[in-house]
Amino acid sequence: MTLLAVEGLNVTLATDAGPVAVVHDVGFTLDRRETLGIVGESGCGKTMTALALMGLLPEAARTAGRILFDGEDLLAADEARLCSLRGDRLAMIFQEPTTALNPVHTVGHQVAEVLMLHRDMAETAALAEARRLLDMVGLPRAAERLAAYPHQLSGGQRQRVMIAMALACKPDILVADEPTTALDVTVQAQILDLIGELVRELGMALVLITHDLGVVGQVTDRVAVMYAGRVVESGPTEAIFAKRAHPYTQGLFKARPSHAGQGRAAGTAARLATIPGLVPDPRSPPPGCAFAPRCPHAIEICRRPPPLVAIGESHDALCHRVGEWT
Amino acid sequence: MSAVIVRRLLAFLATLLATSIVVFVVLEVLPGDPAQVMLGVDAEPDAVARLREKLGLERPTTVRYFDWLLGFATGNLGESYTYSVPVLELIVERLAVTVPLALIAMLLTTIIALAAGVFAAAHHNRPGDWGVMLFAQLGIAMPNFWFGILLVLLFAVTLGWFNAGGFPGWEDDALASFQALLLPAVSLAIVQSAILARVTRSSVLDVLREDYVRTARAKGLSKRAALWRHGLRNALIPVVTVMGLQFAFLLSGTIIIENVFYLPGLGRLIFQSISQRDLVVVKDVVMLMVAKVVIINFVIDLLYVVIDPRLRTAR
Ligand SMILES: Nc1ncnc2c1ncn2[C@@H]1O[C@H](COP(=O)(O)OP(=O)(O)O)[C@@H](O)[C@H]1O
Ligand SMILES: [Mg+2]
């Protein structure tokens, strides 16, 4: 059954230079225990989409559309309701574990705080539970580490603490925004495996945001490819890996690390090819298909807004030329 | 942790020693015979010679330096030429006015500034913020003696709740002495808190943009709770720094406010001893003021360590 349904999500940021639309008409669904990957280059609106799910967009953001969580529209929910959901039923892990943890509080306290907030635990009980959680996420010497400060841990260990914090209340949905991007290549795979394992064990749904298609293939059931604030292709991971319908998805495939097929550990990021050009500035979007200026298959018609074309069972692409190139 | 404190303590003592040398040497190399300076150009040569004798100016410089230093350790600071009382007595008497005044003013400053600064940050770009910033702007722009005079006119002259000035002394009437410090403390606090409120506001705003405040919100803390539990302590470092500077300023005695309210504080002592060229008092008071700044900086350093655990590991 559908746990989360995002419908026609738009996010606009008020800036000094006027409103800037950074997320356009994004829609996807997530079932219980399902894992969804959101993939795209930097600046495509992935983080803004994730923050919209959490109700944590910057103050300057205006939204339209619906985010139905268990039938309840989060975009229409009041702040008190969102506070009771965040950390309890919706949790998020951020890209930078170094800045995401508070430098002046112990890691034990930071994990225990969630439990005290949502589970009405007393501090000692919450700290005991925090110790168990830190054990669970594989933080070595967890009992001692309760009293450690974030600066005393390595990057990977900090991200483990973030994971423990996010999973403390066994949320229904975990949103992980590029959880391994800031980490050493050697620990990236460990952290990713840990997230995959725990999500399965605890029966959570996962929204995994990444710019690396290789990561998605290992962990997720479904994929949404984002470009310039829009979902340009979405479908079951297998279907997309078998047949990428959008030229941007194709470009991301070609740009995968060279050994991606042979397991992530070898992914020392020697890129085969990169997509030429840059993600468009959301302040001056190109007319029609936003990818057209970089697309090797673009023709005259691509200057007009592209249609959503069904490729297969719940597999769609936003492109004029689906099937016209190989 | 304790290693860090020991090291700061050693640095503190070294700084104190270095400043004492600077203060001593500066007054030493000033041109002219100190005794002559103190007595004036028309003084009898006999009188000058007697004063030189009394001040021990014939002894070698290093002996006099260590003598002076020892004086600080033992509380024997010599005798004021103009007042004919021990300098220590003179200073202690003035500190009995200046220290309580500085403490009351600083307390008021801290309470007003933190409340106003955090409030403004929490209402960023909304009327509450604008209101606080407007008052802060006024507070900074207006000289504090002007507030002092306004307060005297309102509370002393019109309402008659306070005396317009003067200081009865703690032994004679502690309550009246306390009251005598209230209006001057408020005049000082208005300007100081306007400055500190601005610092607090911008520091809190900076911290609110930090990722860990967003993490706190992702845990389910309300905006207000995230600010108090995760923002404030991190925002304190710049606030404490400015508070240290302000407290040092207040402890130096505030000549203008002391004059507006006829308070016998340290500021007036300095003013008087300089205009009377009482070099003995000047040297000791200058050393005291420098020492006080060094001590406050030391305390601020320790506060940093209390606030931010990253500073606890010796590096
Ligand atoms: N505070 C902001 N003000 C203006 N533009 C922003 C702000 N934050 C992000 N953006 C813009 O929004 C777009 C989407 O950003 P983001 O969601 O962070 O992308 P991603 O996570 O995919 O890298 C980018 O073009 C970025 O420049
Ligand atoms: Mg991002």
Average pLDDT rounded to a whole number, residues B61-82? 85
Over residues B145-186, the pLDDT tens digits come to 888 888 888 888 888 787 777 888 888 888 888 888 989 999
B99 shares its domain with B160: yes
Q: Do B219 and A149 touch (CB under 8 A)?
A: no
A124 shares its domain with A184: no
**Average of per-residue pLDDT values in chain B:** 87
B15 shares its domain with B107: no
User: Domain residues for B225?
Assistant: 87-313
Nearest atom in ligand 1 to A226's CA: 22
- Which B-chain residues 189-228 have CB contacts (< 8 A) with chain A? 210-212, 214-223
Residue A291 lies in a domain: no
User: How far is the centre of ligand 2, averaged over its atoms, from the C-alpha of A94 (Å)?
Assistant: 9
Measure in Å the smallest separation between the Cα of B231 and chain A Cα atoms: 9
ipTM (interface pTM): 0.90
B163 shares its domain with B306: yes
**Which residue does chain B place closest to A151, by CA atoms?**
B310
B10 shares its domain with B96: no
Ligand closest to CA A48: 1
Over residues B249-277, the pLDDT tens digits come to 898 878 888 888 889 988 888 888 888 88
CB pairs under 8 A between A and B: 71
B60 shares its domain with B108: no
B62 shares its domain with B106: no
User: H helices within chain B, ranges in order?
Assistant: 2-29, 34-39, 45-55, 61-74, 87-122, 127-141, 144-151, 174-208, 211-218, 223-226, 232-251, 255-260, 266-275, 279-307
| Chain B interface test: which of A83, A93, A94, A104 (most B C-beta within 10 Å) | A104
Residue A205 lies in a domain: yes
B148 shares its domain with B227: yes
Give me the residues of chain A with pLDDT under 50, please.
259-272
Q: Do B212 and A103 touch (CB under 8 A)?
A: yes
Query: In the listed set B37, B53, B74, which residue is the last one of a domain according to the structure?
Result: B74
Which residues pair with residue A4 across a beta bridge?
A30, A69
Percent of chain B beyond pLDDT 70?
99
What is the DSSP track for B235-275?
HHHHHHHHHHHHHHHHHT--HHHHHHTT---HHHHHHHHHH
A14 shares its domain with A85: yes
Name the residues around ion ligand 2, CB cutoff 5 A. A 47
Query: In the listed set B37, B52, B74, which residue is the last one of a domain according to the structure?
Result: B74
Residue B82 lies in a domain: no
B167 shares its domain with B297: yes
Residue B20 lies in a domain: yes
Residue A112 CB partners (closer than 8 Å, separation 6+): A121, A123, A126, A127, A129, A130
Residue A319 lies in a domain: no
A153 shares its domain with A191: no
B67 shares its domain with B101: no
Answer whether A3's CB lies under 8 Å from A32's CB: yes
User: Domain residues for A157?
Assistant: 101-170
Query: In the listed set A145, A170, A195, which residue is the last one of a domain according to the structure?
Result: A170
A8 shares its domain with A150: no
B66 by DSSP, 3-state: which? helix
Rounded-to-integer distance, Cα A90 and Cα B32, Å: 79
A8 shares its domain with A72: yes
B67 shares its domain with B93: no
A187 shares its domain with A77: yes
B113 shares its domain with B136: yes
A131 shares its domain with A186: no
A9 shares its domain with A158: no
A71 shares its domain with A140: no
User: H helices within A234-299, ranges in order?
Assistant: 237-242, 247-254
Query: In the listed set B29, B50, B74, which residue is the last one of a domain according to the structure?
Result: B74
Query: In the listed set A258, A281, A316, which residue is the last one of a domain according to the structure?
Result: A258
User: Residue B240's pLDDT is what?
Assistant: 94
Answer whether A167's CB lies under 8 Å from A198's CB: yes
Burial of B23 (0-12, 13-18, 19+ CB in 10 A): buried
User: H helices within A39-171, ranges in order?
Assistant: 46-54, 79-85, 97-100, 107-118, 123-136, 142-145, 155-167
User: How far is the centre of ligand 1, averaged over its atoms, from the C-alpha of A22 (Å)?
Assistant: 7
In our burial notation (b when 16+ CB lie closer than 10 A, e otherwise), range B247-279 reads bbbbbbbbbebbbbbebbbbbbbbeebeeebbb
Regarding predicted confidence, which is higher, B249 or B34?
B249
User: How far is the centre of ligand 1, averaged over its atoms, from the C-alpha of B141 (Å)?
Assistant: 40
Query: In the listed set A219, A235, A258, which residue is the last one of a domain according to the structure?
Result: A258
User: Residue A257's pLDDT is what?
Assistant: 65
**Which residue does chain B place closest to A102, by CA atoms?**
B212
User: How far is the centre of ligand 1, averaged over its atoms, from the C-alpha of B211 (Å)?
Assistant: 15
Using CB atoms, pick whichever of A86, A96, A99 lies closest to residue B219.
Answer: A86
Residue B79 lies in a domain: no
A35 shares its domain with A114: no
A199 shares its domain with A76: yes
**CATH number of the domain enclosing A218:** 3.40.50.300
Residue A48 lies in a domain: yes
State the total domains in chain A: 2
Average pLDDT rounded to a whole number, residues B45-71? 84
B146 shares its domain with B174: yes
In chain A, residues with a C-beta closer than 8 Å to the C-beta of B313 are: 152
**CATH number of the domain enclosing B116:** 1.10.3720.10
Q: Is pLDDT of B248 > 70?
A: yes
Residue B80 lies in a domain: no
Q: Do B219 and A113 touch (CB under 8 A)?
A: yes
Q: Do B309 and A149 touch (CB under 8 A)?
A: yes
Please list every protein residue whose CB sits less than 6 Å from any atom of ligand 1. Answer: A 13, 15, 20, 22, 40, 42-48, 58, 282
Report the phi/psi class of residue A282: left, alpha or beta, with left for phi > 0 and alpha for psi in -120 to 50: alpha
A165 shares its domain with A177: no
Q: Is pLDDT of B81 > 60?
A: yes
- Kindly report which listed range (A193-202, B10-19, B51-60) carries the lowest average pLDDT score: B51-60
State the total domains in chain B: 2
Which value, in Å, is the radius of gyration of the alpha carbons in chain B? 24
Over residues B87-119, the pLDDT tens digits come to 888 889 899 999 999 999 999 999 999 999 999
Residue A94 lies in a domain: no
